[in-house]
Amino acid sequence: MERKSFFTTLKDVIIKFWYVFPLLAVVLLFILILLTATYPSLFENIVFCILLFTLIMLPVSWCVLLANKKWWRCIISVVVSIVFVGVLGFYLIFAAMSAPTTFGKDHPIPEGLAYNLPLQRYHWDDSLAASVYVDPDSVVVDTLNADSYLQIWNGSQGGIYNYDFYYGPLPAGEIYLKCFEVTEDIPLSDYRLKKASKVKINGTSTFSKLVDKQRFTIYEGDWFDYYAARIEVWFKDAKTGDEKKLLEKVYRVEGWMR
């Protein structure tokens, strides 16, 4: 009996079984990805190599199947592969977006630094409610105390905030925020924060509330991984385009785990 060569055997295996390989590959990759979360340095390279090899071999296998007129097996392989790549891609994007960072741990709050806690409107977190819960109707703003002009409120999730701002007479323009980590003066969420916090105002002639619970998000860091941020309130004159800082205040903040 004539013995088949290695390449002939490999060709037979591809023709007969390749359409199920993507299923096996996706199972293996998901297992390795889960292990990567626990042992990143050990499995990252393995996952990358298997994924790269799979993506290279898939088109090769389709060519082999088509050359041998294995139409249905080729169709099954293409469909399964598309599903596999889509599911895996979605999972990797989600994992990358929600993966914890070390921003807060890398920027601990300096000992002795005076900072404010965001106010809490809802009792969704009992550990916070005991210390910072405030009835919005009970907030008192002292026109002689600039520190009371800006009030940051916790939102529905960590890293999501709302702010109120009171100020004296101003021309028509825009109010917006800038945030910086205090120890290294790192801009936080930069353009996105400015855009989200921006509020247009008409000209005012008296001390008044200019911003009411405007929502903004700080993306750097993780839930419950607190660090200190300097939150600055800026004003841009609608007529002249001139910008000036109105007030700044240091808060303990956390990042939103998107």
CA 189 – CA 93 distance, rounded (Å) = 20
Number of H-type helices and E-type strands within the chain: 7, 8
CA distances 219 to 65, 144, 161, 232, Å, are: 48, 33, 11, 17
Predicted confidence (pLDDT) per residue in 96-148, tens digit? 555 567 888 899 999 999 999 999 876 555 544 444 567 776 788 889 999 99
The pLDDT score that the predictor gives to residue 130 is: 40
- What pLDDT is recorded for position 131? 47
- In 74-102, which positions are buried (b, 16+ CB within 10 angstroms) versus exposed (e)? bebbbebbeebbeebeeeeeeeeeeeeee
Q: What is the pLDDT of residue 129?
A: 43
Report the SS3 class of residue 247. Answer: strand
What six digits make up the tokens of 208? 């008044």
Q: What is the pLDDT of residue 65?
A: 74
Question: Domain map of the chain by residue range?
Answer: 6-98, 103-253
CATH class of 103-253: mainly beta
Name every residue whose Cβ is closer than 8 Å to that of residue 249 and which is 6 or more positions away in sequence.
116, 147, 150, 152, 230, 231
pTM recorded for the entire structure: 0.63
Residue spans of the chain under pLDDT 50: 1, 127-131
